[in-house]
Each structure stands twice: as structure tokens, then as C-alpha cells.
Amino acid sequence: MHYPAGVRVEKKKDVYYGNRGMTLENDLNDTNNYYLIHDIAIVHKKPTPITINRVDYKSRSDAIIREARFKIPSTTDYNGIYKGKYIDFEAKETKSKTSFPLSNIHQHQIDHLRSIINHGGIAFIIVRFICFNETYYLDANDLFSFLDNNDRKSIPYSFFKEKGHLILDRYNPRVDYISVIDSLYFKEVV
Amino acid sequence: MHYPAGVRVEKKKDVYYGNRGMTLENDLNDTNNYYLIHDIAIVHKKPTPITINRVDYKSRSDAIIREARFKIPSTTDYNGIYKGKYIDFEAKETKSKTSFPLSNIHQHQIDHLRSIINHGGIAFIIVRFICFNETYYLDANDLFSFLDNNDRKSIPYSFFKEKGHLILDRYNPRVDYISVIDSLYFKEVV
């Protein structure tokens, strides 16, 4: 299993500094915090799933995990509520200029997104092409129309340009994916 | 900060075995798994939030967390989707025979539940009185009508009997809270 993206590790010597995907994750944390403070939507990143093997439990207030391992997530990283609707998404960065490798998303997560749609939720992925500094919202309906009609192991950049929605880079909120949801799902409200 | 309930710790010598609330948590895991398999609802327990301080990163496939601490959760433990609606809840056990101590739920979690209601979600708590082997669904609307009219630091058992909904102990699903949601929110569908 790969070291999960975006795990915050305090800096110390001889230690790996997890920073894969930090930037998009930080931007989304800021964005979700903005939505929360302004009472627009309630969306949180789920904690990284781990299996704990050993805990030093010195006192009620001082437990230190001494051995744990990362688990493969069974769901996406983000979910929450917006205008009464359940929303759910996964967010990934890629360095590729040509396509987004599907190996970045576990099969569990794909299955999870499909179930969410079937149950009436709003599901999508957010993909950032680092080289272009472009961040796309790709609705899960479009993701699945691609997956169901292709055997490719990656989604071409051109597909994002065609079917995805470019999320404009703003100061605040940084990655305003709610504006895309509004345009797709709440047109009549606007 | 207290050692969080329901953290699974593999058995080893000289180690604390987290088992506060294990039974209700296990029952809910089984229940949510039942809902998932039967495509009734998609509800997952969020991973326990931790702050990672040190990771041994020997290879891509073998990262071991060597030092981490438990964080106070900013949201509830459970959320998901049912019949297109966002649902959100916290679950706790108590050994008390007379009341449920509110110290079991962090203020963040209370605030979170209130926001969920304001945004059109279904929010509640599940409380098990271990001595009576009784598990109650208490809708967040009733929780807040109590909190907004009382200065007490605990909710009396009698309040659960009056305003809560006893969840019948079944074989499968173990804690069928969806049946309560149906009776409260989807009456017209039945």
C-alpha cells in the first residue's frame, strides 16, 4: 500500500515528510473552512484511516500511539451536506500533462461514488493538473460514462477539458467547487 | 483528552485494551454493513482522528506510524446517505441508570449536529443504557429542545423514555435505527 497523500507529518530528522497532494488538500481545507464559517456547506475531510497496534496509555489524558499502520480507505476523503443534499468526493493531484491515472483512486472509492449517485447524492472528483495549475470538477455521472465506455487506465486531460468544469483559482474560497454544484444541480435556485 | 471510545487495539502485553463502547460500536458497524450490503443506506464510521508525529517510512509499501496522538473530533463519528437525505449521528454508551452525562459528547459535536439540522439533514444521537440493555434514538430536534431549556449536565433516562425511540434489539440488523428514521421522516412513503 502506498503512503497516503496529504498525511501531515511533523518535521523531524530521518523521517519521511509526507507532502504528496498537500497543496490541493490545504486549499480544500481552507475552502471547506470558508464554507463552514459562512454557513454555506458543511464538508469535512475524513481522518486518515489507520489500524492501531500499540498504545502507551500512561494516563487518561496522555495516550500515545506507538505503532500503527495506514489502511486502504473504504470511502472517499470528503463528504458533507449542501442545501440539504448529501455530497461526496475524492480529490487528487497529478503531475501528468496528458491524463489522470486511475490508479490514484481505489476501486472501493469508485464503487462508493457510484452508490452515492444511486442513493440520490451528489458525487464528483476534483483533479488538479499541477503542471497547468488547473483544478477540475468532474461529476461522477461523467466519470462513470467514461469508465463504462473505456478500458483505459487513465482519463485523458482532454476529457477533463471537455466534460469537467474548471474551478477558478480564487483567493477565498480557494477551490470554489460549490459554484460548480450550483450550476449543475441548483440552476433553478439561481 | 480522554482515550477515545471504541479504538481497536491489538492485544499485546502491557498495553491498554480500548474497549469503552466497543459493543455499541460493533453493533453499529454490523448494522451499517447490513445496510450497505442490502443497498439500504450508505453510512460509515469515520476513522479516529489523530495527529501523526513520526512515521518510519522504510519502503513505499511499508510505512509504520511510530508516534501519534488522539485528537478531539470536530464532527460526529457517523454520517452517510439514506433515501437521498444526509444523515449524521453520534453514538454513546453509558453505565448510568439515571441519566446520560453530556460530557460524553464534545461541544463541537453538539454544534455540528445543530448545523446539520439547519442545513436540512437528519441528525440524532444513539445512546445505550448498558444496565438496561436499551438503545435509544434521540432526534437532534428533541436533543436541542432539551439543551435549550435546561442547564443540566446530563439528560435524564426518563427523557429518553419520553422523547427517544427505543431501538429494538434484533439479530440483523442489530441496531435498526433506519426504521426509526422511516417512522419520523418518511411516513408518507410507508
Instruction: Catalogue all structural domains in chain A, each as residue range(s) with its CATH number.
Output: 22-49+72-189 (3.40.1350.10)
Asked whether the predicted pLDDT for residue A9 surpasses 70, the reply is no
CA angle A24, B48, A128 (to 5 degrees): 10
If one counts every other C-beta atom within 10 angstroms of the C-beta of residue A129, the result is 20
pLDDT band (50, 70, 90) for residue A166: very high
* Amino acid letter for position B4: P
Predicted local distance difference test score (pLDDT) of residue B13: 38
Of B33, B105, B46, B112, residue with least CA distance to B77: B46
CA distance B123 to A139: 27
Residues in chain A within 8 Å Cβ distance of B33: none
Minimum mean pLDDT range among A166-175, B5-14, B48-57, B62-71 = B5-14
Chain A / chain B CB contacts < 8 angstroms: 156
Q: How confident is the model at residue A171 (pLDDT cuts 50, 70, 90)?
A: confident
Burial class (CB in 10 A: 0-12, 13-18, 19+), A13: exposed
Could you tell me which chain B residue has the CA closest to the CA of A82?
B119
- CB of B109 within 8 A of CB of B72? no
pLDDT of residue B160: 98
Using a 10 angstrom Cβ sphere, with 0-12 exposed, 13-18 middle and 19 or more buried, the burial of residue A42 is buried
* 8 Å CB contact of A61 and B1: yes
Rounded mean pLDDT of A153-177? 94
User: How many angstroms separate the CA atoms of A139 and A74, rounded?
Assistant: 20
Amino acid of residue B173: P
* Residue B157 phi, psi dihedral angles, 5° rounding: -55, -40
Task: Give CA–CA dist B184/B186, Å, rounded.
Answer: 6
| Residue recorded with cell 453493533 | B27
Residues of B in contact with A39 (CB under 8 A): 115, 118
Q: First CA to last CA across chain A, in angstroms?
A: 44
Mean pLDDT rounded to a whole number for chain A = 88
Count other Cβ atoms within 10 Å, centred on residue A122. Answer: 21
Rounded to whole angstroms, the Cα distance separating A35 from B70 reads 26
Length of chain A as a residue count: 190
pLDDT at B163 over 60: yes
Over residues A174-180, the mean pLDDT reads 96
For the segment B77-119, what is each residue's pLDDT rounded down to a tens digit? 999 999 999 999 999 999 999 999 999 999 999 999 999 999 9
Please indicate whether, in this complex, the C-beta atoms of B10 and A39 are within 8 angstroms of each other: no
Q: Using CA atoms in the order A99, A102, A105, A108, what is the torsion angle rounded to 10 degrees?
A: 150
DSSP B187: G
Please, which residues have CB within 8 angstroms of residue A128's CB and are 6 or more apart in sequence?
A23, A24, A91, A92, A93, A94, A134, A135, A136
Smallest CA–CA separation between B128 and chain A, in Å? 23
Which residue among A66, A75, A82 sits closest to B66, beta carbon to beta carbon? A66
Helix (H, G, I), strand (E, B), or coil: what is residue B19? coil
Record: contact A39-B115, CB cut-off 8 A: yes
Nearest to B113 by CA among B143, B80, B85: B143
- Of A81, A26, A40, A30, the residue nearest A179 (C-alpha): A40
**E strands, A9-104, where?**
41-45, 50-59, 62-70, 78-82, 85-94, 99-101
Helices and strands: H and E segment counts in chain B: 5, 10
A47 vs B42: CB contact, 8 Å cut-off? no
- In sequence order, which residues have a C-beta less than 8 Å from that of residue B109 and are 6 or more positions away? B73, B75, B76, B90
Strand A85-94 with A122-129, pairing: parallel
Residue A88 has pLDDT above 60, yes or no: yes
CA distance A120 to chain B (A): 4
Res B74: pLDDT: 86
Q: What is the pTM of this model?
A: 0.85
pLDDT, tens digit, for every residue of B109-152?
A: 999 999 999 999 999 999 999 999 999 999 999 999 999 999 88
Q: Is B120 in contact with A55 (Cβ distance < 8 A)?
A: no
**Confidence band of B4 (pLDDT split at 50, 70, 90):** low
Using a CB-CB cut-off of 8 Å, the residues of chain B touching A47 are 46-50, 71
In whole angstroms, give the CA distance from residue B125 to residue B137.
6
